[in-house]
Structure 1
Amino acid sequence: MVSIANPLYFFAAPSSSAGTAESPTIRITDVIEFFFVAHPDSGRKEGEEFKRVMYFYPKNEILDRQTDITGFAEAVVNFTENFVTPETNKEPTEFPFRTVSTQKAEHVYIQARSRIFVENDQFLIGVALCKQSCQVANYSIFVPALKNVLIDSYKMFRLFFGTMTNFRKHSEEKFRERLEYFFGRYLALLKLHKMPLLDYLGGAEFLPLQGEIYLDIVTMLSEVEEEFPIIKKLVFLYQDKLLYYSISSRDVPSLLRYLTQNLLPGSLASELEPSKKTNPGRFLRGPEDLSLDTPLLGDEALPTVYLNSKDDEDEEEKLQRFQMIVYRCLNATVCMFVKSEVTRKLMRNIDSFLGPELVKVASAIGDSVGSNDAATLRSSCDFHYIYFNPSSLSMTSSFSETQILDDAITGAIKPPNPPSDVNRLVCETLFRFIDENDEFGECFVKSDSEWWIVLKKVNCRLLCLLLPPCVSQPSLADIQAKAQSIIKSRFEAIFFN
């Protein structure tokens, strides 16, 4: 029997530093009005409408209100379906959504279903944020960002359990238990960026490296795939930054969040323990004793994840189940994904083959991290920035928690954080004036609080600069010249001017 505890490594204890005044994030539980997962077809019978509620937060909400809120969401979806035509829905999205704005809250509902039509398989997932609480927390609600946060919540559940349709089909009681276990912990840890653009873009932090070292990484991973054909996909990280992935880009944000916020931090203590091994590499999950040949069961079983993948004969990606092998050495982490059964012998062979090679590659990366090229963006500057490359999902920002921690360690001088109205203006400007389908675009905006916002898009790559108020009251020409100077000095290598 498969261990049901296996995928729930996800949940770690909340950080004690969270919630400080300087934090670039807020906890969603501080501003949330409600969150729910509903299955409309389960509440069709009169008098049994409450059965459609599969999960509801907060838990102390009375059942009648849970039923009313989920019923209102279903009514909104059904009513607005009457106005959806082929002309207005030329590009159907994976997650159809609806938004509702009231005097007190902003609501977002998404529909989650299987890609292959199955009767009675639609789920409604909804969230609402309290406007007054957001104002107190100095957080600006940007509905498209909130929609992406809601979709990411579902994707995180799907990463560990597969689709809700398949899970519920086997046992509704077990399904409700897993929803309670997962979202009860997930929501307690979920954070929203005070700069909503980060949640809207949903990128991943990459580590800038010299070409030769990156080539060494790719070569090593290619040799691993050649030596072990059973390994179908790979992800490579150094510290908490991404360097390489062969999984679908649709799975990168969810998997990276699990690795960097939960699995890797939880392994740091054991890394400091002395080891008798000749190489410092080790597996983060699975059996401690690899010398035996007994099956991997119970606590020794490897994490199971569901990733979008396509076989050679398939044209479209499908959700497929993989076992995840995580191997770490000197701050470098290699995640390997396998469809077939994983044995202790396979893990012994991977350790023997990958360990010595990863030591050399990790050492080279560590030597280069402190170089001038890698530290360019960590130096003192008088502006904030967000860079995003949609093709690779690469994103770097002065608002990220990692960057703020780096600044604190290095003592870099940074400008004050923009007020919430500027954060909202950045999002609205991008949404209204920079077309998502255009490869090029440029926009300069000045806020009422004297902040300048510069949005520049080249070859689909986006750069956002936020320049704080200054005594000299610069003109538009001055801001254009300053933006060009910043791009040339700090972003030219990754953003073609």
Structure 2
Amino acid sequence: MSKKSDILLMNFFIFNSTYGPKEGEEEKKILYFYPPATDIDEKIKQIGHIDRVLFARTFSDQPCESVHNQKTRLLFYEAEPNFWFVMSVSIPYSQRVKDGQTFVEYHEEDIQDSLFRVVLQQAYSMFKLFNGTFHGLLERSGIDSLKHRFEQFYTKYLLTLNLKHSDILDIFDGIHFLPLDKNTYLRIQCFINQIEAAFPQIKYTAFLYNDQVVWSGLEQEDMRVIYRYLKTTLFPAYMEQEFQVQSSPAHSSALSSPASNPGHYGKFILGPPNVHDITCPGKTHRTYLNTHTETTEECHLVVYRALSATICLFVEGDFQLNFDFWRKLDSRLGPQLGQLASDIAEHYAKRTNTLVSEPMFKYVYFNHMNLATKTTLHVDSTKTSGASISPELLRIICDLNHDLSSIDSSDDGEIFVKSCGDSWVVGKKSDQREFYVVINQKNANLIEINGECFLL
């Protein structure tokens, strides 16, 4: 049998059927379409097909959220009233030869609807973070501006999707928190309070170490999206840039320059790369917070890093960022953040030495109340490395999550599944917490596995 093909993004488009209600006006419904080179007749055909599917929803109490074909899977998500996201992905296939004939086998079980609907939801929440809601954009700038924003944002965003590595961690979309001792945590909180008092323009702050959240003043849903952006986009791009700079011949001479070394290790990731060079202002991002309420807040996102500690500052949107502000902020953040990073590193090293290097069980835990996630399913717990268990077991965990999600939030439940590879996968839901564990014990029966889970 040949190697199984990857999951590929075939189409992604956004449309609003209320914009082209008459025959001949179908093109007006299309707000964004990928791939952009698609023929206009094909675009209209796709929109018409989805319109018919969505119309059929009116005849059922169970809304249609996907369409299963032999070679592709269609998924829908209504991001805002009448604004639909549609994604088409290819179903992986493999070829096998029998009696001199080649047969193609499609693996539709590799495409899990609950998982890929989350991909659509994340595509909307990420856009909303940096652009605001669709209706808000329409009120401010009109339909042409909305289309332009779609073009600018999704043309780049879709390139970052890694569909073949999507798994249960994408469904949870949780936050990895770093546990600290009480004294260190209080020092961090005191440091944040001092910064916010010295710079009243700062409305919210978040503190991270080694890509794990230590403290956040944001609403949970906003922090969830910010955390995903930092972990999947900003931090990897920054690390790649730092690697290139350190590899350049000019790096050693730059280190000795007083202008680039103000006496501490801190520097802006979002902000001016050098606070002493007014010709290079750098960049920040405008963010829209609390978009689920009537009091949406527009803020500048400023990110500052010293060693492995990162602080995210959300500055009032109408405040004029200037180099006087940057210099004062840098002189205040750099020394203190560097010292805190060193202290956390010392505590982190002691804690890491006490942990078992290779856990006996592979597990994932999620708390719906604070979005906390813990896992050993991936090597570095941030999903940047490959999974430490097979794709089959990851699919089983997603299926268990889907089944447990159908249980009322006030009820508890548990499910035991034995895989074809003789591994046991157990899912438990209790008090808005979910726990999934993979136990590799051949010839173990249900009673023995239940006993092992009780000990966990």
TM-score by length of 2: 0.82
Residue in 1 aligned with 2:92? Answer: 132
CA deviation after TM superposition for structure 1 residue 201, in Å: 1.2
Residues 1:66 and 2:33 aligned together: no
Q: Does 1:321 align with 2:281?
A: no
Write the distance in 1 (CA, Å) between the matches of 2:347 and 2:164: 30
Could you tell me how far apart the structure 1 residues matched to 2:307 and 2:274 are? 21
TM-superposed deviation, 1:139? 7.4
Q: CA deviation at 1:193?
A: 6.2
Structure 1 unpaired stretches of 5+: 1-20, 89-95, 114-120, 311-315, 409-413, 488-497
Question: Residue 381 of structure 2 is aligned with which of 381, 403, 415?
Answer: 403
Alignment length, in residue pairs? 425
What are the residue-to-residue correspondences of 1:82-161 with 2, within 5 Å?
83=60, 98-113=65-80, 122-133=82-93, 140-161=110-131
CA offsets 1:269-327 (integer angstroms, 9 cap, x no match)? 448552320222122223345469x8x9x9645321111169xxxxx464321111111
The equivalent residue for 1:11 is: none
User: Are 1:459 and 2:437 an aligned pair?
Assistant: no
Which residue among 259, 276, 284 is the counterpart of 2:261? 276
Shift of 1:167: 3.1
Matches within 5 A, 1:256-267: 256-267=227-238
Q: Helix, strand or coil: the match of 1:279? A: coil
For the 8 Å contact 1:368–1:374, the answer to whether it is kept is no
- CA change 1:288–1:466 in 2 (3 A) is closer
Aligned-partner residue type, residue 264 of structure 2: N
Paired with 1:309 and 1:66, the residues of 2 have a C-alpha distance of: 31
Where do 1:34-433 residues align within 5 Å? 34-81=11-58, 83=60, 98-113=65-80, 122-133=82-93, 140-168=110-138, 170-192=141-163, 194=165, 196-268=167-239, 269-270=241-242, 274=255, 275-288=260-273, 290=275, 300-308=282-290, 316=293, 318-339=295-316, 340-341=318-319, 342-372=321-351, 376=355, 379-400=357-378, 402-403=380-381, 417-420=389-392, 422-433=393-404
d(CA) in 1 for partners of 2:421, 2:37: 41
Q: Report the Cα distance in structure 2 between the residues aligned to 1:125 and 1:404, rounded to whole angstroms.
A: 27
Q: Report which stretch shifted further, 151-160 or 56-65.
A: 56-65
Deviation for aligned residue 1:363: 0.8
Bigger shift: 244-253 or 271-280?
A: 271-280
Question: Structure 1 residues 240, 133: closer, same or farther in 2, change over 3 A?
Answer: farther
Shift of 1:436: 5.3
Between the aligned partners of 2:215 and 2:353, the Cα distance in structure 1 is 17
1:100–1:108 CA contact under 8 A, matched in 2: yes
1:382 shift after superposition: 4.1
Q: Distance in 2 between matches of 1:300 and 1:355?
A: 18
Q: 1:242 to 1:384 in 2, by over 3 A?
A: same
Tell me the distance in 1 between the aligned counterparts of 2:75 and 2:30: 17
Q: CA shift at 1:223, angstroms?
A: 2.1
CA distance in 2, matches of 1:214, 1:374: 20
The question of whether the paired residues in 1 share the 8 Å contact of 2:208 and 2:215 is answered with yes
The whole-number CA distance in structure 1 between the counterparts of 2:41 and 2:338 is: 59
Name the amino acid aligned to 2:311. Answer: V
RMSD: 3.3
Distance 2:158 2:207 in 1: 28
Structure 2 distance, partners of 1:399, 1:370, is 22
In structure 1, C-alpha distance between the alignment counterparts of 2:369 and 2:196, rounded to whole Å: 24
Letter in 2 for 1:352: S
1:314-346 alpha-carbon deviations (Å, 9 max, x no partner): xx4643211111111111110111223133323
Q: CA deviation at 1:194?
A: 4.3
Aligned partner of residue 92 in structure 2, secondary structure: helix
What amino acid does structure 1 have at the position aligned with 2:15? A
What residue is the counterpart of 1:438 in the other structure? 410
Deviation at residue 451 of structure 1 after TM alignment:
1.7
| Kept after mapping to 2: 8 A contact 1:31/1:133 | no
Q: TM-score, normalised by structure 1?
A: 0.76
How much has 1:375 moved relative to structure 2? 6.3
Find the residue that maps to 1:306 and give its secondary structure: strand
Instruction: Supply the distance in 2 between the matched residues of 1:319 and 1:182 (Cα, whole angstroms).
Output: 20
Q: Is the 8 A contact 1:446 1:453 kept in 2?
A: yes
Greater RCO structure (CA 8 Å; 6+ sep): 1
Amino acid at match of 2:187: D
CA gap 1:375/1:206 in 2 versus in 1, 3 angstroms: farther
Q: Is the 8 A contact 1:139 1:194 kept in 2?
A: no
Q: How much does 1:249 deviate? A: 1.5
Counterpart residue type for residue 144 of structure 1: S
Distance 1:374 1:37 in 2: 49
Give the corresponding residue for 1:92.
Answer: none
- Residues 76 and 98, structure 1, Cα contact 8 Å, conserved in 2: no
- CA drift at 1:390: 1.5
Q: What SS class does the counterpart of residue 443 from structure 1 fall into?
A: strand
Q: Tell me if the contact between 1:452 and 1:469 (Cα under 8 Å) persists in the aligned partners.
A: yes
1:285 maps to a residue whose letter is L
C-alpha distance 260-432 of structure 1, shift in aligned 2 (>3 A): closer
Match of 2:452 among 479, 482, 492: 482
Could you list the per-position Cα deviations for residues 351-407 of structure 1 after superposition, in whole angstroms to 9, with x for gaps in the alignment?
22222221221111111222245763x621343211111222111222336338999
Q: Which amino acid aligns with 1:308?
A: N
Provide, for residues 389-447 of structure 1, a one-character-per-residue CA deviation record: whole Å limited to 9, x for no partner: 12221112223363389999xxxxx9x62342x33332222322462503643332223
Structure 2: runs of 5+ lacking an equivalent: 95-104
